Structure 1
Amino acid sequence: MLTEKQKESFKQQLLEMKKEAEEELEEYKDDRLKNDYENDDTGEISSVADHPGNLGTDQFEREKEQTFYEKSREKLMEVNDALQRIEEDRYGLSEKSGEPIPVERLEAMPTARYRVDEMEDE
Structure 2
Amino acid sequence: MLTDKQLNHFKEQLLEMKKEAEQEMEQYQDDQAKEDYENDKTGEISSVADHPADLGTDQHEREKEQTIYEQAREKLMEVNDALKRIEDGRYGKSEKSGEPIPVERLEAMPTARYRVDEQEN
TM exceeding 0.5? yes
Cross-structure match for 1:49:
49
Backbone CA RMSD of aligned residues: 1.0
Task: Judging by fraction of residues, say which structure has more helix.
Answer: 2
Matched with 2:63 is 63
> Could you report, residue by residue, the CA deviation over 1:40-85 in whole angstroms, capped at 9, with x for unpaired residues?
2212233321100000000000000000000000000000000000
**Is the Cα–Cα contact under 8 Å of residues 14 and 110 in structure 1 kept in the other structure?**
yes
Write the distance in 1 (CA, Å) between the matches of 2:47 and 2:101: 54
State the one-letter code of the partner of 2:88.
E
Contact kept, 8 Å, 1:39 with 1:58, in 2: the verdict is no
Gaps of at least 5 residues in structure 1 are none
Q: Mind listing any 5+ residue stretches in structure 2 that lack a counterpart?
A: none
Which residue number corresponds to residue 18 of structure 1?
A: 18
The one-letter amino acid of 1:87's match is E
Partner of 1:28: 28
| Stretch of structure 1 that moved more, 26-35 or 36-45 | 36-45
Whole-Å Cα distance in 1 between the matches of residues 106 and 87 of structure 2? Answer: 16
Counterparts of residues 74-85 of structure 1 (less than 5 Å)? 74-85=74-85
